[in-house]
């Protein structure tokens, strides 16, 4: 139960790309493209409303000869990442539902890739394998497994109930359309208007005078406006800083910059949840009814 697309570059091997995977020159990319015309984080795949979409970052691409910022992945689609550098979509696999996991303190989380379970300080899923969690969820083809820390793998499927100590995990079906990124619509607080122009963002909260956020904070906010959905923090960080010596260094820069951004937004009267971190490695602008976030021409 995975949503993914099989893609290839020229005569290269087929590579599966799913939600959160990105294409670029970074060694962290799911599809590594060794071409100087391609950025470290050029484009990424996002599950939205039951479709897999390829979204451009600072790098754009062409479909049918037209420069576009996004495209719905479908079998036979050809995406030109740079002149003569063509990505071919060989097949798109979209199941009716995905497997999700829920537990005390953990809302239903669809499983879209290897993730580590944590119970404290807050219950969450962290993308990737890490040795300090309660266990790791991973898959082989369509079969999911849970490996408790220090234990042996257990096969799980929709309907499975697994206990880790006194923590009970329940595995459920999540309809595909409900597993992707959606805008949250709730009517409360002052409306926020965000207008991104290159690396600066004009912010207006309610009827207050607009303010401009620039620098690194402006770049992060601009990327989140342009991406318009939950994405990996690493993807945004690579778009802002490019390659750094170590992942730990990138994470340190990210944490400091995002904390400063959130403090700045709160000082302007914005809601504390505007820049939302889900505890599973994803970040997004959590927009409510009446909010506006858009890219404007310079």
Which residue matches tokens 């909260």?
205
> Does one domain contain both 196 and 166?
no
> Does one domain contain both 228 and 282?
yes
> Does residue 223 come out as left (phi exceeding 0), alpha (psi in the -120 to 50 range) or beta?
alpha
> Does one domain contain both 212 and 157?
no
Cβ atoms of residues 86 and 78 within 8 Å: yes
182 lies in some domain: no
12 lies in some domain: yes
> Does one domain contain both 216 and 168?
no
> Does one domain contain both 156 and 239?
no
Query: Which residues face 72 on adjacent strands?
Result: 53
Residues 6+ apart with CB under 8 A from 112: 2, 3, 18, 19, 20, 47, 98, 179
> Does one domain contain both 105 and 72?
no
Cβ atoms of residues 195 and 202 within 8 Å: yes
> Does one domain contain both 204 and 271?
yes
278 lies in some domain: yes
Residues 6+ apart with CB under 8 A from 246: none
276 lies in some domain: yes
> Does one domain contain both 211 and 278?
yes
DSSP 8-state secondary structure symbol assigned to residue 165? T
Average pLDDT, 10 consecutive residues per value, the chain (298 residues): 85 85 82 87 81 78 88 93 92 87 88 84 79 90 89 93 94 81 46 88 90 93 83 84 70 88 89 75 78 81
- Cis peptide bond upstream of 214, omega within 30: no
pLDDT for the residue 230 = 75
Nearest to 289 by CA among 201, 190, 205, 204: 190
Q: Considering 26, 59, 93, which residue would you say is the last residue of a domain?
A: 93
Q: Considering 73, 93, 113, which residue would you say is the last residue of a domain?
A: 93
> Does one domain contain both 115 and 83?
no
Expressed as residue numbers, the domain containing 155 is 97-177
Cβ atoms of residues 105 and 164 within 8 Å: no
- Number of domains into which the chain is organized: 3
Reported as half-sphere exposure (CB side, CA atoms, 13 A), residue 242 has a value of 3
pLDDT for the residue 148 = 94
Q: Considering 93, 119, 135, which residue would you say is the last residue of a domain?
A: 93
For the chain, the residue count is 298
> Does one domain contain both 141 and 203?
no
184 lies in some domain: no
Cβ atoms of residues 54 and 69 within 8 Å: no
> Does one domain contain both 112 and 65?
no
Domain containing residue 110: CATH number: 2.60.200.20
Longest dimension (CA), the chain: 58
């Amino acid at each position: 139960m995975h949503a993914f697309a099989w893609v290839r570059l020229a005569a290269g091997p087929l590579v599966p790309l799913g939600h959160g995977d990105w294409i670029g020159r970074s060694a962290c990319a799911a599809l590594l493209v060794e071409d100087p015309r391609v950025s470290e984080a050029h484009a990424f795949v996002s599950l939205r409303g039951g479709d897999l979409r390829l979204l451009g970052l600072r790098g754009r691409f062409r479909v049918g000869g037209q420069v576009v910022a996004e495209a719905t992945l479908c079998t036979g689609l050809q995406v030109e990442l740079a002149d003569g550098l063509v990505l071919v979509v060989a097949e798109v696999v979209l199941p009716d539902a995905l497997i999700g996991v829920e537990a005390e303190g953990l809302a239903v989380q669809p499983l879209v890739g290897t993730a580590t379970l944590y119970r404290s300080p807050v219950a969450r899923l962290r993308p990737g394998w890490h040795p300090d969690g309660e266990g790791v969820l991973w898959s082989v083809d369509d079969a999911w497994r849970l490996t408790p820390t220090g234990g042996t793998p257990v096969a799980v499927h929709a309907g499975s109930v697994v206990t880790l100590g006194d923590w009970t995990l329940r595995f459920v079906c999540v309809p595909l359309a409900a597993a992707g990124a959606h805008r949250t619509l709730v009517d409360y607080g002052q409306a926020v208007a965000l207008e991104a122009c290159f690396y600066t963002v004009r912010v207006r909260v309610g009827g207050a005078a607009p303010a401009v956020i620039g620098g690194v904070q402006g770049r992060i906010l601009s990327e989140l406006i342009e991406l318009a959905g939950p994405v990996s923090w690493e993807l945004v960080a690579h778009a802002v800083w490019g390659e750094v010596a170590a992942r730990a260094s990138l994470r340190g820069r990210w944490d400091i910059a995002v904390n400063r951004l959130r403090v700045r937004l709160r000082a302007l009267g914005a809601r504390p949840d505007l820049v939302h971190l889900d505890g599973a490695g994803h970040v997004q602008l959590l927009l409510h009814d009446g909010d506006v976030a858009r890219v404007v021409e310079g």
